[in-house]
Amino acid sequence: MRTEIAAMMAKGAEQNISHDALRQVRDELGDCQRCKLHTGRINIVFGVGNPAAELVFIGEAPGFHEDKQGEPFVGKAGGLLDKMIDAMGLARSDVYILNIIKCRPPGNRDPEPDEMAACEPFLIRQLAALEPKIIVALGRYAAQALLRDTTGITKMRGKWRTYQGVRVMPTFHPAYLLRNPAAKRPCWNDLQLVMAELRGESTP
């Protein structure tokens, strides 16, 4: 019992430290006007979830609903991501979710290089504060930005990569899965590799 209580207390302390570090990053981000996206946004979409999470999901950019609510992955793609997380035996509150960029591009267009560059220092600091065991990069832009690799997501997915010593699993973005249901099976295969890694069953 004492061991369990000590573990719970240590986990709580770890979460508080992570939470403080994330709050510092958010404070420094402020009312960001470092790129042109600030002129059309409603909210900065920083991230949401457990600051002591072992598993982090990174998407591309906020969409219409995310911009409106200030939270990542709350539209249809977010609903599918929630189902994916649930199928892994986890809850949204168990993981941390963020995007490569923090403001919605007009018309949900692809992020531009200067916008990604403006957000990158905050992404780096967020991940350093979170210290996850695994990152799941959702879609081409997230994977390419994180890994500095221009390979397409179809060829990149399903293969473990590394970012700052953290294992990264690139896979399809939920929005892509909504348009291409046949890709759900390979995506689920990728998530099964993630689940095995979380259980300590190392996979190549």
Other Cβ atoms less than 10 A from the Cβ of 63: the count is 22
Residue 168 pairs in a beta bridge with 135, 161
Kindly indicate the confidence band of residue 202, based on its pLDDT and cuts at 50, 70 and 90: confident
User: Measuring CA to CA, how many Å separate 40 from each of 35, 37, 78, 108?
Assistant: 11, 6, 22, 12
Whether residue 203 is contained in a domain is answered as no
Asked which of 4-13, 130-139, 145-154 is least confident by mean pLDDT, the reply is 4-13
Alpha carbons within 13 angstroms on the beta-carbon side of residue 28 total 11
CATH number at residue 105: 3.40.470.10
Whether residue 62 is contained in a domain is answered as yes
Host domain of residue 180: 2-198
The pTM of this model reads 0.90
Q: Are 172 and 186 in contact (CB under 8 A)?
A: yes
pLDDT tens-place string over residues 103-128: 999 999 999 999 999 999 999 999 99
Whether residue 173 is contained in a domain is answered as yes
Whether residue 59 is contained in a domain is answered as yes
CA end-to-end span of the chain: 36
Rounded to 5 degrees, what are φ and ψ at 182? -65, -20
Taking residues 175-188, report their average pLDDT: 98
Our count of domains for the chain comes to 1
Rounded-to-integer distance, Cα 62 and Cα 50, Å: 19
Alpha carbons within 13 angstroms on the beta-carbon side of residue 116 total 16
DSSP state of 109: P
Taking residues 146-172, report their average pLDDT: 97
Whether residue 82 is contained in a domain is answered as yes
Which residues have a Cβ under 8 Å from the Cβ of 27 and sit 6 or more positions away? none
Taking residues 54-80, report their average pLDDT: 97
Whether residue 204 is contained in a domain is answered as no
Whether residue 138 is contained in a domain is answered as yes
Instruction: Tell me what the pLDDT averaged over the chain comes to.
Output: 91
Kindly indicate the confidence band of residue 43, based on its pLDDT and cuts at 50, 70 and 90: very high
Kindly indicate the confidence band of residue 19, based on its pLDDT and cuts at 50, 70 and 90: confident
Alpha carbons within 13 angstroms on the beta-carbon side of residue 31 total 3
Is the sign of the CA dihedral 55, 128, 18, 119 positive or negative?
A: negative
Other Cβ atoms less than 10 A from the Cβ of 115: the count is 20
Rounded-to-integer distance, Cα 37 and Cα 89, Å: 36
User: Measuring CA to CA, how many Å separate 76 from each of 63, 82, 92?
Assistant: 10, 10, 15
Distance of CA 85 to the CA centre of its chain: 12
Whether residue 167 is contained in a domain is answered as yes
